A and B are shown apart, each in its own frame.
Chain A
């Protein structure tokens, strides 16, 4: 298949693996930021094929995993309200709150609908003027433009029964937080290709310069990932802590200016809680005051929610690259996809789910 097969070509992958083997002279620890990259690495067994001297650790780039428990509880509360049609991307439905998930709310009578785009949620609002339609606006910079567009469109059309529950986060502040941790072991980053497609790679230049760390925007196919790893290894071996774009067919320096403009028009930078990690300053997006009427938290007067994480769950350490999923004592025992202790085991992009689904006992 054009544009996929080329990047899954086993011969090309073997050539890149050889080049990595030839280039590595000592151990390096590299973090892939995005959960999609983690899944591709584990699913294709790239970690098995790399030389032992390269350790891949998995980053916080899973929007489902990092959505704070308090936001999940708010979603559950809103979805339970009779007047509300609660809309969400599919993979949020299975994420456990303190005691239940959106599937359970739906089975109890909540009107919970899976949508493929926030604009579909807006259409549901147009079609149901007597109901309140809430969209769960979760995600990184990749989902922000469409979420912003839905709000902008609702404002322009004067749609009064639409709002979004915002849990929008950004990648560079999370990378900064990881690099500042005393326990940090990360020496180089594979940046998330689709985030860079929206935001460009220029946002990583200050980070790379400040922490002397190579950052390589990378795609998701095996050949993309191996090319990104090779470039990172080359930069590490040559002591060149720079930002080098390895995903040129998708990513540019400035990114998608129209999408960035839409984000800036609707959202502003705010502090944000990350599940398992804690508060990261200036790491999120919130609605600007002129769009406050579309903020579900304000519309429904949602105050502080009490939440309770499992004390056994190590997802915070896993999301920060300090621990690997199979190093967690609860992995595969108390914590499985059927009985997850945390979101990293249940999300389709979670590192624990990737290890459990593709590698356990192998």
Chain B
């Protein structure tokens, strides 16, 4: 039954989120009917039970959750809504799973314009359609002004793991190739350069995107991929360090091979930040046996998300648990975990 046709909603009385929108009464229903349901209604949500009853194919299930607190909420190349869907789709995909179902939890700040909320929900729905996943259950809470930063979103996801894959950060083998699906630092630098207070403006846009189609194509071609990670917070540097530590191997990367957009590099220079430490939201780090590297690169480069893919390094016996870069000048340096929050320097 379609709730919209069954229960015509009253006219919206408010232009912004009110505490009462989260109180479970008439305004809560109105918010659901006018802002959420038109964009994400489907057979599971329409029932309006407290849970979604899902049909799951037999096999191993991947289950993940993540919470999104990005500021600003709207940024060049996207917004928090599509980020929340793409992030969960990617967290499932890099484990070799086909993403199926997603739950959403919203924490809304009193005073958030409903037009903004609707734009966010609309882009979540579009991102879910693009990734081929269904939003099957959700929750909304409202907190007082100042108690959160406009909107926080939690998404959890369930996916079905492909039968013939055994991806793990502990699978890295000596001699393996390390492949990166595209340019580094786009998302984090888009966020940093769109924050208030920065005295220069850039055209850098976030790379927020679902990776499931590209990953499925890769696994169809080379099921024996050893490990995959999406290098989000902490950037490629953190991901490579985690991989090296998990498998107790060294990773050697080549500075000249790492793709970085000119404007990202320029902004990073100005702020004194290493692009390898900057977050990505549509990139993949992949480790595979060296003899399969060319095949993987070809599949990646034929997809929209992987057209700048590059072989950036290899797994080595030396310096276990450490990532070392061959610089363009021919010297070597450590690529360490970022120290914490990325802080622009004084001069």
Query: A1 and B265 in contact (CB under 8 A), knowing A13-B329, A357-B336, A362-B334?
Result: yes
Q: Which of B250-274 contact A (CB under 8 A)?
A: 262, 265-266, 269, 272
Q: Using Cβ atoms and an 8 Å threshold, which residues of chain A touch B324? A: 362
Quick check: A42 and B333 within 8 Å, CB to CB? yes
In the complex, which range does the number of interface residues on chain A fall in?
35 or more
Chain B contacts of A348 at CB under 8 A? 272, 343, 345
User: Assuming A357-B334, A357-B336, is B329 touching A49 (CB within 8 A)?
Assistant: yes
User: Taking the complex as formed, is A252 at the interface, i.e. its CB lies under 8 A from any CB of chain B?
Assistant: no
Contact A90 B344 (CB under 8 A): yes
| Nearest CB of chain B from residue A98's CB, rounded to whole Å | 21
- Interface size on B, as a range, is 20 to 34
Q: Across the interface, which residues of B come within 8 angstroms of A358, CB to CB?
A: 333-334, 336
Chain B neighbourhood of A89, CB < 8 A? 344-346
Which residue on chain B has the smallest CB distance to residue A113? B197
B57 is an interface residue with CB less than 8 A from chain A: no
A116 vs B269: C-alpha distance in the bound complex, in angstroms? Answer: 14
Are A359 and B333 in touch, CB under 8 angstroms? yes
Q: State which residues 125-144 of A face B: CB under 8 Å.
A: 138-140, 142-143
**Cα(A4)–Cα(B327), bound, Å:** 16
| B58 interface residue (CB < 8 Å to A) | no
Query: Which residues of B lie under 8 Å from residue A93 when comparing CB positions?
Result: 343
Evaluate contact between B331 and A44: CB separation under 8 angstroms: yes
B319 at the interface (CB under 8 A from A): yes
Interfacial chain A residues near B346, Cβ < 8 Å: 63-64, 89, 91-92, 138-139, 143, 349
Query: B269: nearest residue on chain A (CB-CB)?
Result: A4
B residues near A140, Cβ cutoff 8 Å: 347
Q: Which residues of B contact A29 (CB under 8 A)?
A: none
Given contacts A139-B346, A361-B322, contact A116 B197 (CB under 8 A): yes
A338 cross-chain contacts in B, Cβ below 8 A: 339
The reply on A46 being an interface residue by CB < 8 A is yes
Taking the complex as formed, is B163 at the interface, i.e. its CB lies under 8 A from any CB of chain A?
no
B59 in the interface (beta carbon within 8 A):
no
Q: Mask for A324-353, Cβ within 8 A of B = 1, else 0?
A: 000000000000011000000000110000
Contacts of A25 in B (CB 8 A): none
Interface contact A94-B340, CB-CB below 8 Å: yes
A348-B265 Cα distance, complex, nearest whole Å: 17
B342 → A minimal CB distance (Å): 8
- Tell me if B6 is interfacial: C-beta within 8 Å of chain A: no
Q: Which residue of the partner chain B has the closest CB to A123?
A: B197
Cβ distance B301 to chain A, nearest Cβ, rounded Å = 23
Say yes or no: is A114 at the interface (Cβ < 8 Å to chain B).
yes
| CB–CB A45/B262 < 8 A | no
How far is it, in angstroms, between the C-alpha of A222 and the C-alpha of B344 when the chains are bound?
21
Q: Which residues of B contact A (CB under 8 A)?
A: 197-199, 262, 265-266, 269, 272, 319, 322, 324, 327-334, 336, 339-340, 343-347
Using A48-B332, A49-B329, A360-B334 as known contacts, list a sample of 9 further A-B pairs with CB atoms less than 8 Å apart, ordered by residue number in A: A45-B330, A91-B344, A114-B197, A116-B344, A222-B329, A337-B339, A338-B339, A349-B272, A361-B334
